Structures are given as C-alpha cells and as structure tokens.
Amino acid sequence: MLVYLADSGSRNRPELLEKIPEIKKLYAPSLGDWVSIFKYLTRTTSAVEGKLFLAEIENFSLDKYQRTLQEFVDVRNVKAHGATLTEDDYELRFQEHAPKVYDLISSLGFLANYTLVKTGQMEKDRDSYKIAVQKLMGDNPHFEATHVVLRTPLDTNKVMYLNRDLEPLVLDPYIVLERCPECRRPEVLLFDKLSDKKITHLSYESPHKPALANADRLPPIIRDLAVRRSEMSRQTGA
C-alpha cells in the first residue's frame, strides 16, 4: 500500500488520491483502515496512465481475497479488543484461517522480484555508477551490505524499491531506515500517522513509535488530507 502512495505521489496524480476517501484515515490508521485503503488502491490501478511500478498488481485477484482480508481483520479485532475465548479456541481459529492467509501471501509472491534497499555512497565507475546499498530484507537489523551498478545515479540515503530491471521507486518517508530514537537500534520504520510537522513511524521489531521531522517530504495532497483529518479529530474531541 505504501508503494502505491509513493508511486502516485511521484507521478503527481492527486486526482487518484482524491477519489479514495479512505486516504483521509491516514492520520491514525487502524488495521481495518489499511485493508480498506489497500482494496481501494488495487481497484483504481486500471485508471492510472502509464506503467505501474508494481505492474503485476493489475492481475491480482482482489475479489478472491477480499473475504480473507476481512476475516483476518475480524479475528484480529476479537483478540485485540478483549480475549473472550481460550487459547485452544484461538489456536483452532488460527488453523481454520491460516491456509487462506498463506494462499494470499503466495499470491503476492511477485514481490520477490523487487528488492527493498537503502542507498549509501555512490562512485562513478567509467560509464556507470557503483552504489552501496543495504538490502532491507532478512534479519532486521542486520542487513546485508552490497553494491549495485547502474547507468544512472540514485538518490543517496533513501529507502527505495528496485524492480528486476533495477528501476527505483523512492519510498522515503513512507518507509525509512533510521536509528530508533528510543532504543537506538537501526530499524526499518513504517509510516503510521502524521501531523503538519512530523511523521510518526511504527518500529518493525518493537512497539516504539518514533516521530521524525520529515512530514514536508510527503506529497502535499496526502499531507493536507491527513492534517485536515487530525484537526477535525481534535475539534471533535474538544
């Protein structure tokens, strides 16, 4: 889902995001909100002009997995909002739903063709660029350090997706690799919510939610909608 937001922002297509009312829930999205946003974004892919970064998503059978997604949210909500069953009952629930979830994960196997990296130092090497990267896939926070060689330079110190042709999509600040301000570990942090000045990220490994001052790097359409949502929530609470 974060890849879609980054792709839409890089293409400067605010009308796409305006058509998705769920995008306003980005102030503090719940699991159900993320699933709902994912559904809307996958439905709008055919309306996007030009080549999608995740081209395979056009053939993704969303209707087939819609019930699986909703069942997953429902089971999670029952457990998270108050355990009313025994652990054995929850184990049976898991066994009941696990094959569907595994099938969903398998259907997203095309993501294995993409590599999540953070770029580092770049050197000119004749007609190419030798770029140091950390591969953010594997044992967090012990990421493999390697190099890619490209004809065109990449932004440094950015988290990005590389497809099989090593074409980049910058995901910063939706996904960042930073030292967690609380535990000081280098961690992959995912976009969680934002205010007009800061983005709160969710730690991948721990429950920490550090706020980093990089909200200005979001596309204006997303930032404005989320800030507006935040202000409305504060007024309602008042």
**For the chain, what are the domain ranges?**
2-112
Per-residue model confidence as pLDDT tens digits over 57-77: 777 777 778 778 787 777 777
Nearest residue to 119 (alpha-carbon basis) of 83, 88, 76, 148: 148
**pTM for the model:** 0.74
Share of the chain above pLDDT 90, in %: 17
The answer to whether residue 46 scores a pLDDT higher than 50 is no
Work out the mean pLDDT of the chain and round it to a whole number. Answer: 79
Average pLDDT over residues 204-217: 77
Q: What is the pLDDT of residues 2-44, one digit of tens each?
A: 887 787 777 766 666 666 666 766 767 777 777 777 777 666 5
Q: Which of 89, 85, 35 is nearest to 62 (CA)?
A: 35
N residues, the chain: 238
Mean of pLDDT values over 101-113: 87
DSSP state of 109: G
pLDDT at 197 exceeding the cut of 70? yes
**Contact call for residues 58 and 48 (beta carbons, < 8 A):** no
Amino acid letter, 116: L
